[in-house]
């Protein structure tokens, strides 16, 4: 990239995550600090295709650093998955004389960005509560989602104790059990079920019975949605153990809320780093949180192999809940 960078665009895409607004704020204000004109794109790639771009000012991102969701909105775009849609998106960027695009989202959002890479400078910021993007230790929103689950389970445990029940709590994680693992070990769940590791009903029931024999009359089982239906798991456990079982599905509750301090700080650092990457005229890069520092890595890393599931932590959770 040899031409001068004058205008940059920024969008949020895919599932929303707490901290996206903090990253957006950093991109806008750091960009303006360096003399760039920054354009916010509403509704992700769908908005880009339809020309929903507006210049942002310092005031347009005031008081959003600790606000959940994304003020730019987000949307899935089937059209962006077609060559025709990609061409429309690129034409809109050229029409508005955008020199570089910052995409805040997950790997699917990054793939969309790379279809534009031949015509514009691209930088990705990893934002997803699942923490399932290779190359970064943390993604924006993960820490907040885990803390949301912990807070909810604390309340559920109160009623589980009062009624002497076993609660099966389903958390997000279609292909990745990171939320279930981190939240489960933090709140002392009796069992943690994740898609990465097969489970046995009899083993879970035996653990419940052992707890009951030593006077424990309530239990919490955390289920990542990719491990199976909480309703079916609850019914099976009740049938096999006889314990009174209830189901709670936390669902989109985990996406909302103010970002944790950690997410807000990481998001701000990633937003600032994205602008630095643009100023250095690099492209096809992603910001990443590695060893407690925000760095720049190739965007292709996001499509690589995921690090192995933390079996050591999973085994520890089982050992602590005997």
Closest CA to 181 of 305, 306, 313: 313
Dist CA 41 CA 241 (whole Å):
53
Between CA 213 and CA 259 the distance in angstroms is 41
φ, ψ of residue 292 to 5 degrees: the values are 65, 25
Q: What are the helix (H) ranges across 188-229?
A: 201-213
Contact criterion met (CB below 8 Å) for 240 and 202:
yes
Indicate which residue of 130, 132, 143, 263 is catalytic: 130
φ, ψ for residue 54, nearest 5 deg: -145, 140
Query: What b/e string do you get for 71-83 counting C-beta neighbours within 10 Å, with b at 16 or more?
Result: bbbbeebeebeee
Eight-class DSSP state of 288 = E
Q: How far apart are CA 182 and CA 230, in angstroms?
A: 18
The helix (run of H) or strand (run of E) holding residue 144 is helix 142-163
Region for 170 from its dihedrals, namely left if φ exceeds 0, alpha if ψ lies in -120 to 50, beta otherwise = beta
Q: Are strands 285-290 and 121-126 parallel, antiparallel or unpaired?
A: parallel
The bridge status of strand 121-126 relative to strand 166-171 is: unpaired
Known catalytic residue at 130:
yes
- What does R_g of the chain's alpha carbons equal in angstroms? 22
> Which residue numbers are catalytic?
130
């Amino acid at each position: 990239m040899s031409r001068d960078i004058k205008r940059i665009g920024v969008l949020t895409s895919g599932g929303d995550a707490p901290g996206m607004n903090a990253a957006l704020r950093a991109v806008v204000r750091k960009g303006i600090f360096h003399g760039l004109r920054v354009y916010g794109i509403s509704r992700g790639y769908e908005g880009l295709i339809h020309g929903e771009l507006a210049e942002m000012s310092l005031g347009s991102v005031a008081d959003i650093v600790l606000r959940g969701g994304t003020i730019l909105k987000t949307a899935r775009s089937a059209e962006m998955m077609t060559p025709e849609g990609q061409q429309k998106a690129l034409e809109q960027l050229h029409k508005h004389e955008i020199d570089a695009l910052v995409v805040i989202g997950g790997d699917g959002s990054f793939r969309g960005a790379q279809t534009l890479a031949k015509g514009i400078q691209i930088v990705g910021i990893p934002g997803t509560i699942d923490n399932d993007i290779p190359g970064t230790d943390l993604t924006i929103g993960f820490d907040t989602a885990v803390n949301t689950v912990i807070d909810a389970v604390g309340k559920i445990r109160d009623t589980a104790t009062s009624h002497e029940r076993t609660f099966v709590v389903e958390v997000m994680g279609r292909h990745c059990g990171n939320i279930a693992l981190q939240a489960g070990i933090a709140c002392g769940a009796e069992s943690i079920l994740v898609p990465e590791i097969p489970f046995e009903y009899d083993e879970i029931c035996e653990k419940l019975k052992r707890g009951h024999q030593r006077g424990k009359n309530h239990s919490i089982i955390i289920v990542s949605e990719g491990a199976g239906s909480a309703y079916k798991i609850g019914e099976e456990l009740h049938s096999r153990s006889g314990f009174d079982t209830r189901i709670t599905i936390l669902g989109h509750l985990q996406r909302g809320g103010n970002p944790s301090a950690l997410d807000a700080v990481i998001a701000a650092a990633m937003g600032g780093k994205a602008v630095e990457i643009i100023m250095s005229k690099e492209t096809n890069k992603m910001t990443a949180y590695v060893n407690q520092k925000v760095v720049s890595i190739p965007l292709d890393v996001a499509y690589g192999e995921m690090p192995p599931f933390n079996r050591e932590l999973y085994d520890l959770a089982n050992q602590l809940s005997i």
